[in-house]
Amino acid sequence: MICVVGINHTTAPVEIREKFSSSDEETVSLLKDLLSLSTIDEAVFLSTCNRSELYLVTSAENGEVLRRDILERLRSWKNAKAEEMDCFYHYRNSHAVRHVLGVAAGLDSMVLGENQVLGQLKQAYRLSATRGMTGRILDRLFHKAFESGKRVRTETRLNKGSSSVSSTAVELAVDTLEELHDKSALLVGTGEAGTLVLQSLSDRGCGELYVAGRNPKRSAEAAAQYGAKFREYEAVMESLHEYDLVIVSTSAPQPIIRSEHILRLSSLLKKPLLIIDLSVPRNVQTPPQNPALVFLYNVDDLQARIERTKARRSEEVEKAQLILNSQREEFLSWLTSLQLSPTIHKLKQKTHSLYEEQLSTLKKKIPVEEYQRLEEFTSYLEGRWLGLIIRNLRNLTEGGRNLGYIEMLHTLFQLEEQEKNKDGMDGGK
């Protein structure tokens, strides 16, 4: 069984999402814990500013029991409250596959069609795959997801225009400040999202660009690439009033711009200051009451603008869905054959041995010619019954949607018992 357990921007507010944000070291620790369970065979964990999701391959028979166990481990891992776990969703089999492909294509993102998530998904997969935490099924699923994401971005216009939270933030800045050519902007943080902000501000012709970050070398290089000026990270908090726009996008685990920094601005500002926090966990602490000239936004505040973008792209969504449906059916067809082939082989062995066992009791009791005719008839009957069972089994599993029927067949015909008996005989030789 393939399953997904997670939260995103539609099910959990930023204060809960930021709690489950995870470093690579924390992610590896979590996955090792989960893979120590006998029922979990493969695992990947994706942690971005808008989602935290586990992708698992499991042999657990009871999906609900597994879900509760995973949620309890996640709750304990981040010391979360029980009620916060209600924000988590759970998908299985074909629904899980559809979700993974949708994430890769940007259909499940806050900004429809955004490009960043595909790279983040690749990074999450790589973290697990290089440590032997994935196997045949997740390897195939993730490569299918990467293929799907690339096709959607090249065969549709889904990601045209504002295609990331970063570019949406710059659009908000343009709408709020009207013009950027005579404005000064400070970017704090030069990770992937921060670099996209810097590029977008430069493309928009922002008057003065400044860059600060915890890694001085990388910040200075980013500033030089886009014609910006480098600022020392430690000095930034004392000079916020000098800018028209401040965008923060770092992976710091706690606020770097605190309430006192913002409250101090009330006596220093002589013009409006727009502060946009793209970080999860949040890096800008909201004071009890903003100073009159300070306008503060975080990633959740960008949602209304993003929803308008989604409405304009509905036609492209339909095109993307057609691509994803085709990709999903291809994967599920492969998964079904992977599951059905050994089951069909075992079933053929089982029915053949039953027919042979019954025929052997008659071989010495009836004439040779009569036995041959009976043998031909039983062979024909065996083929008809097997054909009927196999055909119905393929229909019942619906291309991989109801793999529980395969387990039912194993129980009905005692196919696992057959394997044990075979192993016992082999071991005794």
Residues involved in catalysis: 49
Round to whole Å and give the CA distance between 235 and 243.
14
- What's phi and psi for 294, nearest 5 deg? -105, 125
Cα angle, residue 71 at apex, residues 67 and 75 outer, rounded to 5°:
175
Question: Which tokens hold the place of 315?
Answer: 């036609």
Question: Which tokens hold the place of 4?
Answer: 């997904």
Round to whole Å and give the CA distance between 125 and 147.
14
How do beta strands 208-212 and 229-230 pair? parallel
Cα angle, residue 296 at apex, residues 276 and 117 outer, rounded to 5°:
30
Q: How far from 67 is each of 4, 64, 88, CA to CA, in Å?
A: 9, 5, 10
Round to whole Å and give the CA distance between 7 and 278.
18
Burial class (CB in 10 A: 0-12, 13-18, 19+), 365: exposed
Question: Which tokens hold the place of 352?
Answer: 């053949």
For 62-79, give one letter per residue: b (16+ CB within 10 A) or e. eeeebbebbbeebbeebe
Bridge partner residues of 57 (DSSP): 2, 42
| Cα Dmax for the chain | 111
Q: How far from 224 is each of 53, 231, 301, 396, CA to CA, in Å?
A: 36, 12, 31, 61
Question: Is residue 183 classed as helix, strand or coil in its secondary structure?
Answer: coil
Query: Which stretches does DSSP call E strand in 80-212?
Result: 89-92, 184-188, 208-212
Round to whole Å and give the CA distance between 170 and 253.
24
Cβ distance 329 to 399 under 8 Å?
A: yes
Query: Which stretches does DSSP call E strand in 174-262?
Result: 184-188, 208-212, 229-230, 245-248
Bridge partner residues of 6 (DSSP): 53, 89
DSSP 8-state assignment for residue 32: H
